[in-house]
């Protein structure tokens, strides 16, 4: 889904501090899902960020 100004998308630190954080009360389930289904963890967060940025520009 192309978003207006998608090239300027700023993901901030939500992915690291929430979506991939096993210690976050609500984010830990998402972190488990990303790790089990996609193999994405904090160690390779760049893969997820790149995919999101690419998706919002198309």
Structural domain span for residue 43: 6-57
Q: pTM for this structure?
A: 0.76
User: Domain total for the chain?
Assistant: 1
- Structural tokens at position 29: 């389930």
Task: Compute CA 52 distance to the chain's CA centroid, rounded to the nearest angstrom.
Answer: 7
Q: What angle do CA 52, 53, 58 make, to 5 degrees?
A: 95
Tell me whether residue 1 is in a domain. Answer: no
Q: Write out pLDDT tens, residues 1-58.
A: 666 776 777 788 989 999 999 999 999 999 999 999 999 999 999 999 999 888 887 7
- pLDDT at residue number 34: 96
Question: Can you tell me the distance from the alpha carbon of 55 to that of 23, in angstroms, rounded to the nearest whole number?
Answer: 28
Q: Do the beta carbons of residue 54 and residue 3 sit within 8 Å? A: no
Looking at residue 33, what is its pLDDT?
Answer: 97
Which pLDDT belongs to residue 4?
74
Half-sphere exposure of 43 (CA within 13 A, CB side): 3
* The pLDDT value given to residue 22: 96
pLDDT at site 1: 61
């Amino acid at each position: 889904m192309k978003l207006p100004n998608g090239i300027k998308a700023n993901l901030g630190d939500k992915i690291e501090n929430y979506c991939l954080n096993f210690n976050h009360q609500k984010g830990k389930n998402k972190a488990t899902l990303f790790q089990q289904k996609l193999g994405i963890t904090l160690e390779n967060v760049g893969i997820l960020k790149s995919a999101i940025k690419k998706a919002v520009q198309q």
